Structure 1
Amino acid sequence: MSKIVTFGEIMLRLSPPEFLRFSQASHFDIEFGGGESNVAISLSKFGLSTEFITRLPNNDIGDCAKMELRKHGVGVDKIVYGGERLGIYFLETGAISRGSKVVYDRAHSSMATIQPGMIDWEKALDGVTWFHWTGITPAISQSAADVCLEALKVASAKGITISTDFNYRAKLWNYCDENLRKNIMTELSSYCNIILCNQEDAAVFFGIHPAKSATETNRENDILSVIEQLFKKFPNARKIATTLRTSISASHNTWSAILCDRENTYKTKTHQLNPIVDRVGGGDSFMAGLIYGLNTYTDDYQKAVDFAVAASCLKHSIKGDVNLVSVEEVTKLMEGDSSGKVAR
């Protein structure tokens, strides 16, 4: 049976209700979220054995974050404690022609101040079959990047499948310059077997660009060119995926995906997301769906990526960071039932 570990920062998400702007808000809705914890919860909802590893403050807010993970069936026994605070992000949800906006407040958080040696990775990864991290974790501090590297070295030595979502965040990576950022991500990514990326990630982290300039008419060829270059750069990569989002407005997107191995390309159909309830966590829900798909449909990679994109479509209908759907719901959409009829 698969045992999956994800590593990163879980945060408190504060957002004005509905579509109010920050300046209009008299109170905030409270959620918990974060790229790697979102993946862990989704996988637990899909019935896989999942553990989330992080560092939390030893206070009531840290306990609330841990309770949220436990509520969704995610293992929390390997979480370590220390530091002064939980990271926070503020989300203003956009609509129509006004995009959403994120403000981070995660400096000096427990995860940002984590240090090498605080987690016993040999013990934490004992019996694990899959390890997942994202480019957000090394973006928050040099020490978080160092701990991520510790984990990857142990996971690689144990023969664990390693996946990543590059997840470039322009508002992070404040502690280093462009060259150091590229060096950090190149070293970390060299251990990875399954990669999720887009053109911006590849350009910012590795200076990789498509053979031709991106336009709507050759978008697919552009991303395939980027993927080909990533395969050459990272010999350990077995599969590389990308999601393709077209924003007609903040409330209406189209959504599809491509999965490549070193011999074949698998493309999904294009889904209409309209109206979008909450797009935050859309990429995380795709990554969780892909991990589930590759663990479940082991000989059918087309079905694996179809499951991933269907899972992510459903996430766009759910408020909050996390994709709270079942395998049955995803399978229903994957098989073509998008009617949204009442089940009774």
Structure 2
Amino acid sequence: MTKISCFGELLLRFSPIANGEWIRQGTMPVFVGGAELNVATALANWGLPVKYSTVLPENTLADDIIGYIDGKGIDSSGIVRFGQRIGSYYLPQGTDLKHAGVIYDRAHSSFSELSPGNVDWNAMLTDTAWLHVSAISPALSADVAATCQELMAAASAKGITVSIDLNHRARLWQYGLAPIDVMPGLMEYCDVVMGNIWAANALLGIPVDEHIHAKGQPSDYVAHAQATSEAIQQQFPRCKVVANTFRFDTPPTGLRYYTTLFTEGQQFVSPELLTDSVVDRVGSGDCFMAGLIYGLYQQHAPQQVVNFAAEAAFGKLQELGDATRQTVTDVTSRIYTLTPLS
């Protein structure tokens, strides 16, 4: 059975209640996550064959985590064991990974010690039809970035579809190279790209209109998404599909969300989705990426793909934890009530 392989660092998310309340209560929720594992979890939940690859130390905590992954129906045979620790991060409840509240504790993790030649990628990619990675991994170090390129080149040589999420975590790029020095080399191997117009600018140097927020209409953002998608495909001819997401806060606690998918010279736009409140922002983008892979892997029509991915991502906002628990029926039953964004 050909599988979708997701590669990236597994992270423990510590989620304290803000303002020191976690100290007074003597408790702090912990979630097993990481962008690529969140994607794998969603895909397994939706019935697709998935393998997950990361690096974990040889200890009982890692054993427990591997058991958790196996219990989700994810093939854990791609997990390599070496190093001393599992990476983690602290994110106060209700905040977002893109803002200042996140505190990373992933230096010297097992995954961060990856370097070219550490892993037999040909063996890891056995029975793989699709490889998914993200821009978080190459942000960790020059060695990890070179390892990602080694993996993606191996996948490309085997004719495997490669997708990438252009997650931009500015606080991670601390090893002397800017994203623009690294990411274009990785993009050469990618068939499917997901991100947004600002990430494409920061990671790939694709121009962004500095006045786009002043314009502020959905039609302006959608038009910019098409221009960005066309620029990506012109610069990276292998890329067949580009998806962009737009997520805007609506005070005091709400959010509006819509997405685009560009393929074969045509752009498809999801409905605009609105909510007055959000339970947990973490993992919504990963859920969109999973929805994108889910539809493309099964060769669904582009409008169907972007609608499902957007609704899945939007539904994740109302779930506590890193990965979605929504079923395919949960997502599709909501789609039929929506009106496309004009």
Question: Does TM, normalized by the shorter one, top 0.5?
Answer: yes
Paired position in structure 2 for 1:184: 182
Task: Determine whether 1:49 maps to 2:43.
Answer: no
Aligned residues: 329
Q: Residue 68 of structure 1: CA displacement?
A: 2.1
* Structure 1 segments of 4+ aligned residues over 4 angstroms from their partners: none
Kept after mapping to 1: 8 A contact 2:94/2:279: no
Distance 1:209 1:250 in 2: 31
Q: Residue 254 of structure 1: CA displacement?
A: 0.7
The amino acid of 2:333's aligned partner reads: K
Distance 2:104 2:51 in 1: 25
The 3 A distance-change label for structure 1 pair 46 and 110 is same
Q: Give CA deviations for 1:102-156 in whole Å, capped at 9, x if unaligned.
A: 1110011000011222211111112211000000011112221111111101110
Higher alpha-carbon deviation: 129-138 or 223-232: 223-232
Kept after mapping to 2: 8 A contact 1:3/1:128: yes
Paired position in structure 1 for 2:235: 233
Gaps (5+ residues) in structure 1?
338-344
Kept after mapping to 1: 8 A contact 2:8/2:35: yes
Paired position in structure 1 for 2:260: 258
The 3 A distance-change label for structure 1 pair 53 and 250 is farther
Matches within 5 A, 1:51-130: 51-94=51-94, 101-130=101-130
The 3 A distance-change label for structure 1 pair 177 and 184 is closer
The 3 A distance-change label for structure 1 pair 291 and 233 is same
Normalising by structure 1, we get a TM-score of 0.91
The amino acid of 2:234's aligned partner reads: K
Kept after mapping to 2: 8 A contact 1:15/1:92: yes
The 3 A distance-change label for structure 1 pair 249 and 102 is farther
Q: Residue 129 of structure 1: SS of its match in structure 2?
A: strand
Q: Residue 100 of structure 1: CA displacement?
A: 7.7
Distance 1:74 1:176 in 2: 36
Kept after mapping to 2: 8 A contact 1:14/1:90: yes
> Which of 197, 200, 204 is the matching residue for 1:199?
197
Paired position in structure 2 for 1:23: 20
Normalising by structure 2, we get a TM-score of 0.92
Aligned-pair identity (%): 34
Q: Give CA deviations for 1:210-265 in whole Å, capped at 9, x if unaligned.
A: 36731313222222222111111110000000111111147311111100013111
Distance 2:183 2:80 in 1: 25
Paired position in structure 1 for 2:3: 3
The 3 A distance-change label for structure 1 pair 75 and 266 is same
Paired position in structure 2 for 1:329: 330
Q: Residue 151 of structure 2: SS of its match in structure 1?
A: helix
Gaps (5+ residues) in structure 2?
none
Paired position in structure 2 for 1:311: 312
CA RMSD of aligned residues (A): 1.8
Q: Residue 324 of structure 1: CA displacement?
A: 1.0
Q: Residue 225 of structure 2: SS of its match in structure 1?
A: helix
Distance 1:54 1:165 in 2: 17
